[in-house]
Structure 1
Amino acid sequence: MTLPPADSALGKLMATLPRPGRVEWIGIRPARGTAMQALDEVLAQAGAGLAGDRYKGSSGERGITLIQAEHLPVIAALAGLDAVEPARLRRNIVVSGLPLIALKGRRFRIGEVLLEGTESCDPCSMMEAALGAGGFNAMRGHGGLCARILEGGTIRRGDALVALADSETPVSAVDGDAV
């Protein structure tokens, strides 16, 4: 995704987020079809993925998958369920407090890890089994974001997710100016 020039009106709007996000849940997928393992922290490896995750070592485009905590009740409602636990959706990180789609094509940090949003994390056919009939469609538009790991490190539950300006300076939560 090509972003508009940073100094354009649209570029300024797209760069302004209300506040940092927060990591609420972390999980890895050891193998296809196996249960997710919930973790308090995980090692993110640049160009590879998360230690112990089945996607580790792939192209890096899907080095990590994120989903918005605020979308979990929406997905549950659309699937006709009372609630949806994060592991059921097979995303690595659940983040609250900011719109993940705003990070597509942008760099951001979670704790010490530098990431770049690469593409929407669209649902796969497994969501039909995980959520029941219509589960695939219940997740459409709510599947989250895939990201490439540019600089590795440890991601911990409770870490802040901070969007970066082009110069990798955190974007202020209030006025969009670099802090």
Structure 2
Amino acid sequence: MTLDGSAPDSGSPSGAVDALVTAPEAGATPVRRDAVEIRPGGVEGDRYRSGDGHFQLDGCAVTLVAAEALTAVREETGIDVTDGRHRRNVVVDGFGAEMDDLLDATVAVGGALLRPTRRRPPCARVEELAGEGGLSSALRNRGGLCCDVLEPGHVAVGDPVTVREADPRTAGAAIAERLADRSGANEGPNPENDGSKPEHH
């Protein structure tokens, strides 16, 4: 169900939780988890919810990154941070490396409801902690998304990830495109000028 009680569009993009990662404090080694509780303000047991994140003041409660992005980085550079050294909380699979469909949408991640509000570009700090030169450059434009928590909930590896409500700007453009296509299909050929007689001006 969407936030207004209606059923989500069956054509909405969907994927799954590929991995979950937390770090108890700034600079701590990230830990892969089988399941987490997403609470108001962040992930239970993570540095940002406890107020100990390196970029605490930027208001990023939960972070996502695409499994496709991590795979691409490994294939292109040989850098493998699937152990969690990317330092993002939720790795999602099924939305492409840049996760364009998720930005500004309402997204169900397991039992939680999130809204990705902006991109989370990689920084020198992540590269330093990972011990992988070139990681920031490799993750450019696919470093993940920063999310607000709309509804807390339990999230486990393998849980579905679905778009409940698309970004209004994207949804509006899609509706306009469908209406234009429908209008063009309904117009059909002009019976008054089917080529059998000349058109008079």
TM-score (norm 2): 0.67
CA distance in 2, matches of 1:56, 1:82: 28
Alignment correspondent of 2:133: 133
Shift of 1:57: 5.4
Q: Residues 107-129 of structure 1, C-alpha deviation per residue, up to 9 Å, x if partnerless?
A: 11012211111110110112332
CA 34–16 in structure 1, closer or farther in 2 if over 3 Å, else same: same
Residues 86, 94 of structure 1: 8 Å contact kept: no
**Which of 88, 91, 100 lines up with 1:91 in the alignment?**
88
Aligned residues: 151
CA distance in 2, matches of 1:56, 1:84: 23
The DSSP-based 3-state class of the residue aligned with 1:141 is coil
- RMSD, aligned α-carbons: 2.5
CA 57–132 in structure 1, closer or farther in 2 if over 3 Å, else same: closer
Residues 17, 160 of structure 2: 8 Å contact kept: yes
Q: Return the structure number with greater relative CO, CA threshold 8 A, min gap 6.
A: 1
CA distance in 2, matches of 1:56, 1:17: 34
Letter aligned with residue 19 of structure 2: W
Q: Where does 1:53-64 land on structure 2 (aligned, <5 Å)? A: 53-56=46-49, 61-64=59-62
Shift of 1:67: 0.6
Q: Residues 17-47 of structure 1, C-alpha deviation per residue, up to 9 Å, x if partnerless?
A: 674110011011111111111111111112x
Residues 111, 160 of structure 1: 8 Å contact kept: yes
The DSSP-based 3-state class of the residue aligned with 2:48 is coil
Shift of 1:156: 0.9
Shift of 1:60: 8.4
Q: Where does 1:86-125 land on structure 2 (aligned, <5 Å)? A: 86-99=83-96, 100-125=99-124
Alignment correspondent of 2:65: 67
The DSSP-based 3-state class of the residue aligned with 2:68 is helix
Question: Percent sequence identity over matched residues?
Answer: 30
CA distance in 1, matches of 2:37, 2:15: 19
Shift of 1:134: 2.2
Q: Where does 1:41-56 land on structure 2 (aligned, <5 Å)? A: 41-46=35-40, 48-56=41-49
Bigger shift: 31-40 or 96-105?
96-105
Larger Rg: 1 or 2? Answer: 2
- Structure 1 spans left out of the alignment, 5+ residues: 1-14, 172-179
Alignment correspondent of 1:28: 22
Alignment correspondent of 2:164: 164
CA 17–27 in structure 1, closer or farther in 2 if over 3 Å, else same: farther
CA distance in 1, matches of 2:63, 2:82: 16
Residues 87, 126 of structure 2: 8 Å contact kept: no
